[in-house]
Structure 1
């Protein structure tokens, strides 16, 4: 492991600052979490994008959210094919082991993954079409959403925003292909939620299934 290097000094400094302040002020709570384990009420599936700070948006403390992040906040369909599925494993653990009451898919504005899907599907990103592209093959999950956006008459900027919101809906549809998710939803033990946030404005919208549109929270 000779390629491994020490942590950058600025991160070491930040760690010591956290340990001396935030941790010191709440050490009893951290120790309680360690002993009693986690009991999050909700799972949040969000994008890896560094600008999307889930705990800050909801003012959450440690132990409140079970968070999974991936490119473009996507959930693949239920496919127990023997391959490695990080997102599917996280969903399974949240629903069957942690028994979360809410499962939230959070999309966002200016999503690079969604823009990549848009470019790929429009033939403008040949590198993403290669079989060796992990990002491209991951973004294949969003192709049904792209097809729906293509059916609308929107400009390029409008298409990107529409596809960002479709990414949330595609993930919600795919969640219901998981037998344990479907069972929990139908029994009332679990509720699914679709959200989209505008990074620049700090606004938050939720999908209203009755009207088939997103509305401000």
Structure 2
């Protein structure tokens, strides 16, 4: 059985629809992007969750956002150990090469990665603690956040607090990157943390005061 197969017909149809409408109506813009390169104003780090549509949230067009997605919208701390680091590489490229003005971490409600971290930290998913679990090793980034919220007795409130912690931990870790620190200090870069509730559409933003969040 071949490893790779042709694209499903419904996706081919969608592509041709895009090519005949969105692309055709904006052909000059796409050619300009191809010829001049990208100049996004912002980098957004969001969860892989298919329900989080960052371009729709901000009404973004092609070329507006340098977008990086991973499990639970996490940023690891700065660790130049010679190993490959996908998220860290994306941050370095956005800040040092593209010179974005904003880095925005977007968390969300009902996050499976955040739930997995909580279950792992509370001993309910020992399989995530195995060294062979890529998910578990990634979610270790959020363990300090769990320790901050672990004393919240109501489970629903604890998971919401951990979703916010996934954002605040990532912001804190961003600040450990020397090139991020330098850009923030010279005023060329600002950091932002958000949490969107998928069900009601309410967005919260980090206020910068004790890692608190307030409705936008």
TM-score tier (shorter): over 0.9
The residue number in structure 1 matching 2:184 is 185
Alignment match, 1:3: 3
Unaligned runs of 5+ in 2: none
How high is the TM-score relative to the length of structure 1? 0.97
> How do residues 189-204 of structure 1 correspond to structure 2 at under 5 angstroms?
189-204=188-203
SS, match of residue 104 in structure 1: strand
* Match in the other structure for 1:44: 44
Q: Deviations over 1:157-187 (max 9, x none)?
A: 1111110000000000000110000011011
Structure 1 unpaired stretches of 5+: none
Q: How many residues are paired up?
A: 216
Deviation, structure 1 residue 7: 0.7
CA displacement 1:15-49 (0-9 Å, x = unmatched): 01111111111111100100011111100000000
2-side partners of 1:89 and 1:141: how far apart?
16
Counterpart-to-counterpart distance in 1, 2:8 and 2:175:
42
- Distance across 2 between alignment mates of 1:52 and 1:206: 16
Partner of 1:167 in structure 2?
166
Which residue is 1:176 aligned to?
A: 175
Please report the RMSD computed on the Cα atoms of aligned residues, expressed in angstroms. Answer: 1.1
Question: What's 2:100 paired with?
Answer: 100
Given the alignment of the two structures, is residue 32 of structure 1 paired with residue 58 of structure 2, yes or no?
no
Shift of 1:211: 5.7
**1:1-217 superposed matches below 5 A:** 2-151=2-151, 153-210=152-209, 212-217=211-216
Greater than 6 Å deviation, 4+ residue runs: none
Distance 1:40 1:184 in 2: 16
Relative to structure 1, the CA distance from residue 174 to residue 147 in structure 2 (aligned partners, 3 Å threshold; closer, same or farther) is: same
Structure 2 length-normalised TM: 0.98
